[in-house]
Amino acid sequence: MSKKLVALMCVALFGMNVSFAQQFEYIGAAKCKMCHNKPQTGKQYDIWASSLHANALKSLSSQQSLDYAKKNNIADPTKEKTCLKCHATYYSVKEDLIQTLTAQEGVSCESCHGPGSVYKSNAIMKDQAKALASGLILPTKEVCEKCHNKENPFHKPFNFETAVAKIAHPNPAK
């Protein structure tokens, strides 16, 4: 086998691997809302939109956050990376993976469920195995504890079961 043929095969195999590699991207809550805001499927978007998660970024402007920032030499908690990474999904992911996700969403659907660019279609979402293979994440204690941990200056003991019950948004159609 010639060196040129081997090199060509290597380039071809590399190209195939790159084209098959899945890069899941963040699409934002507005895209989730299209299917997850119907009464027959549980109005998950409305539940999220009225939650502390959806308002997490706004909480950085609260008096409690501002007082903490002042005491800890943080000029502005709404611009502090150590705060933003848990208060807005937008700041916790690589910029090149963002399609239409916005910072204003706070802790969006995709913080807990993974980037939705591939699993967003109904054809995939109706088959959980396909959805999981396409980037869907079923929240676990470990997912939540990325932010609900002792690094958080306002940390309270975290009980996964209690927390999940507070934010439950089941789909009654399933």
What are the phi and psi torsion angles at 26 (to 5°)? Answer: -90, 125
- Whether 4 shows a pLDDT value over 90: the answer reads no
**Token pair recorded at residue 122:** 């109904």
Q: Which of 55, 139, 137, 45 is nearest to 103 (CA)?
A: 55
Q: What is the pLDDT of residue 1?
A: 53
| Model confidence pLDDT, tens digit, residues 12-43 | 334 433 333 458 999 999 999 998 998 988 99
Q: Is the pLDDT of residue 50 over 70?
A: yes
| pTM of the predicted protein model | 0.79
The pLDDT score that the predictor gives to residue 155 is 86
Q: How far is CA 63 from CA 11, 51, 94, 117, 149, in A?
A: 57, 19, 30, 36, 22
In this predicted structure, what is the pLDDT of residue 16? 36
Residue 72's identity, in one-letter code, is: N
pLDDT at 110 over 60: yes
Q: Is the CB of residue 33 less than 8 Å from the CB of residue 109?
A: no
**How far is Cα 77 from Cα 64, in angstroms, rounded to an integer?**
11
Tokens 């927390």 locate to 163
Per domain, the residue ranges of the chain are: 24-166
What is the pLDDT of the chain when averaged over all its residues? 86
Which of these, 46, 130, 55, lies nearest to 88 by C-alpha position?
55
- Residue where the block lists tokens 């659907």: 109
Read off the pLDDT of residues 76-97 as tens digits, 9 standing for 90 and up: 999 999 999 999 999 999 988 8
- 24-166 CATH: 1.10.1130.10
- Residue 164 pLDDT more than 50? yes
Q: H or E segment at 153? A: none
